[in-house]
């Protein structure tokens, strides 16, 4: 027990931001509801809320995207409780789209200089009209006088069966719209610094992820945060990722772990990426707060 607490203390100490850098995180907070809805009956317990606050404090992010956020009251309660605990986020965004239960939200210590929420996106599958259930948050954020970036936050369709469509095809439809937003920004400015992040509900080799990441000169970089537990050797196979621990989600029904949460970067932002400060924090009893683990990426503000 003492050894585990000491390791945790060292982890927290290592999370302090370096001068001239900023930290971006994403965290699915698993049904952070303060009242039941038509489709979700379980509200967030006080113990789970406390663990979410502890996790965000440990991350010490400058900007954090939250998925599965409940209504505005639940969101403002979380923001206020974080402020009371010493984590003040003066700037925020809350995106409410077709899903009436859970939403995408963003907390920021930096000024949000422009907002472009996507709350009415639709696509066709076999001639039928489908909605992007949670929409997308799109923000222009000023990290420093000479450093502004675009944050695109998403929570794509889950793998649960839905009436009238194949879940994978529905998620791919959402992914195509998200990639279309990225392409439009890069067509206007190939040097745009863009972060695409959130819970994409799919694995790296899936059609949805391939669609979002893209190809060629506009291909996004997968930061692939992993635990900093000493595993740093490369994979034996050139085509495989290193064998360090990078899962972000525990699916209790099947007792499986998967990497379905991502932080992706546009080509211009890759040069600002601090690889060694991009990781999954190891937090004791993380599962009390959520079935997801948060991921963190760090960037310089050198204005390249």
pLDDT score of 260: 98
pLDDT in tens, 179-214: 999 999 999 999 999 999 999 999 999 999 999 999
User: Who wins on pLDDT, 238 or 246?
Assistant: 246
From CA 158, how far away is CA 123, in angstroms rounded?
A: 17
Average pLDDT, the chain: 92
Task: Provide the 8-state DSSP code for 247.
Answer: -
The string of DSSP codes covering 231-273 is: --PPPSSTTS--SS----EEETTTTEEE--EEEEE-HHHHTTE
Res 16 pLDDT > 50: no
Alpha helices per DSSP H over 194-263: 207-213
Q: Please compute the mean of the pLDDT values over residues 213-224 and round it to a whole number.
A: 98
107 strand-pairing partners = 64, 92
pLDDT score of 154: 98
64 strand-pairing partners = 25, 107
Count of other CB atoms within 10 angstroms of residue 226? 21
| Assigned token pair, 194 | 């863009």
261 strand-pairing partners = 199
| Assigned token pair, 34 | 């303060």
Res 96 pLDDT > 90: yes
CATH of the domain spanning 22-228+243-298:
3.60.10.10
pTM, whole model, 2 decimals? Answer: 0.92
pLDDT in tens, 155-174: 999 998 877 789 999 999 99
Q: Where are the domains of the chain?
A: 22-228+243-298
């Amino acid at each position: 027990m003492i050894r585990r607490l000491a390791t945790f203390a060292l982890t927290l100490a290592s999370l302090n931001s370096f001068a001239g850098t900023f930290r971006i995180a994403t965290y699915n907070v698993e049904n952070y509801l303060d009242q039941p809805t038509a489709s979700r009956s379980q509200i967030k317990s006080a113990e789970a809320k406390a663990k979410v606050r502890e996790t965000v404090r440990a991350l010490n992010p400058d900007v954090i995207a939250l998925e599965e956020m409940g209504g505005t009251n639940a969101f403002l309660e979380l923001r206020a409780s974080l402020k009371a605990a010493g984590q003040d986020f003066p700037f925020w965004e809350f995106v409410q789209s077709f899903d009436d239960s859970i939403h995408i939200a963003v907390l920021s210590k930096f000024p949000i200089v422009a907002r472009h929420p996507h709350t009415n996106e639709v696509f066709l599958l076999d001639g039928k009209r489908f909605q992007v259930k949670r929409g997308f948050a799109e923000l222009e954020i000023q990290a420093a006088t000479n450093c502004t970036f675009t944050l695109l936050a998403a929570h794509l369709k889950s793998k649960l069966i839905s009436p009238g469509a194949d879940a994978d095809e529905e998620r791919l439809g959402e992914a195509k719209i998200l990639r279309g937003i990225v392409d439009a920004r890069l067509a206007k400015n190939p040097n745009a610094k863009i972060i695409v992040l959130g819970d994409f509900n799919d694995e790296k080799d899936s059609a949805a992820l391939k669609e979002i990441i893209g190809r060629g000169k506009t291909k996004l970089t997968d930061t692939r945060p992993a635990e900093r537990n000493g595993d740093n050797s490369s994979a034996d196979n050139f085509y495989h990722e290193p064998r360090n621990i990078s899962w972000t989600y525990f699916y209790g029904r099947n007792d499986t772990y998967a990497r379905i949460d991502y932080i992706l970067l546009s080509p211009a932002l890759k040069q600002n990426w601090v690889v060694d400060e991009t990781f999954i924090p190891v937090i004791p009893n993380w599962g009390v707060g959520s079935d997801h683990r948060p991921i963190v990426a760090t960037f310089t503000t050198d204005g390249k």
